[in-house]
């Protein structure tokens, strides 16, 4: 895997001795990799990433992995509120409104090589390879509903919830009933919070709740993202929740 070190961003600071535990995927939303590198290296923009991958598969290293790049912004996952300090940010040369509006074969091939390398180097759990939309669901939608998460899952580079037995499912459903949690929305929020999502803005805000649901679907229900029934959505989140819960117990 060849890395290009020609361009360097000054937008970084110290990690505060925190362990690298996450890989966060973004897209640039700019017309070209040249535009993106220029933007990410401009000090006045106060944004950066560790790596950016072009449409033709070139991997540019803009910030040292030892440093805290500024790619995640205000974000949360589980108990972590400073994702920048514990993650490596990877930008993809992609924009929905320009010629780079597809994830090219070369781009994805290079991404897979980079993810394998970083996952092994830092012993990162595949559950912690996430999109910007996962850690900031009220602000971001990248890498988006066309990003090939399934391909990454097949390579153990992303988490794919496993089916659980009917008996185990029944036990957990009984727990909701015992605690008088009957609303599907409340159950969904509890389960998404356990998975890792920040639900704080979704509890009393319909627009924020829909943003949260849309971003979950764009990662885990891509093929049925636009026509996903409420039952299918609930079943998917329930399976995800059960799978994680039974892994931790």
Q: Hey, which residues are catalytic here?
A: 91
Query: Which residue has tokens 């602000």?
Result: 139
Residue 22: helix, strand or coil by DSSP?
strand
The Cα–Cα gap between 64 and 104 comes to 26
Secondary structure (DSSP) of the chain: --EE-S-----EE--TTPPP-EEEEEE--SS-HHHHHHHHH-GGG----SEEE-TT--EEE-S-TTSEES-S-S--BTTBS-HHHHEEEEEE---TTSS--S--HHHHHHHHHHHHHHHHHHT--GGGEEEHHHH-TTT--TT-TTS-HHHHHHTTSS--PPP--HHHHHHHHHHHHHTT---HHHHHHHHHHHHT---TTTSS-HHHHHHHHHHHHHHH--TTSSS--HHHHHHHHHHHHHHHHHHH-
Q: What is the largest CA-CA distance in the chain?
A: 60
**Pairing relationship of beta strands 3-4 and 59-61 according to DSSP bridges:** parallel
């Amino acid at each position: 895997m060849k890395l290009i070190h020609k361009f360097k961003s000054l937008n970084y600071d110290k990690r505060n001795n925190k362990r690298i535990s996450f890989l966060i995927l973004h897209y640039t939303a700019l017309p070209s990799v040249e535009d993106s590198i220029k933007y990410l290296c401009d000090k006045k923009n106060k944004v950066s990433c560790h790596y950016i991958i072009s449409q033709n598969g070139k991997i540019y290293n803009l910030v040292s992995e030892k440093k805290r790049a500024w790619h995640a912004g205000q974000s949360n996952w589980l108990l972590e509120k400073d994702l920048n300090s514990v993650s490596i940010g990877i930008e993809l040369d992609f924009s929905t409104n320009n010629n780079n509006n597809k994830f090219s074969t070369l781009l994805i091939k290079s991404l897979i090589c980079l993810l394998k390398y970083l996952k092994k180097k830092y012993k990162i759990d595949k559950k912690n390879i996430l999109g910007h939309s996962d850690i900031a669901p009220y602000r971001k939608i990248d890498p988006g509903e066309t990003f090939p998460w399934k391909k990454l899952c097949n390579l153990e580079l992303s988490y794919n919830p496993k089916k659980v037995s009917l008996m185990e499912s029944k036990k957990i459903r009984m727990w909701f009933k015992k605690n008088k949690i009957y609303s599907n929305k409340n159950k969904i929020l509890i389960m998404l919070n356990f998975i890792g999502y920040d639900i704080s803005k979704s509890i009393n805000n319909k627009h924020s709740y829909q943003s949260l649901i849309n971003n979950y679907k764009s990662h885990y229900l891509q093929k049925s993202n636009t026509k996903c029934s409420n039952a299918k959505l609930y079943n998917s989140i329930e399976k995800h929740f059960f799978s994680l819960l039974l892994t931790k117990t």
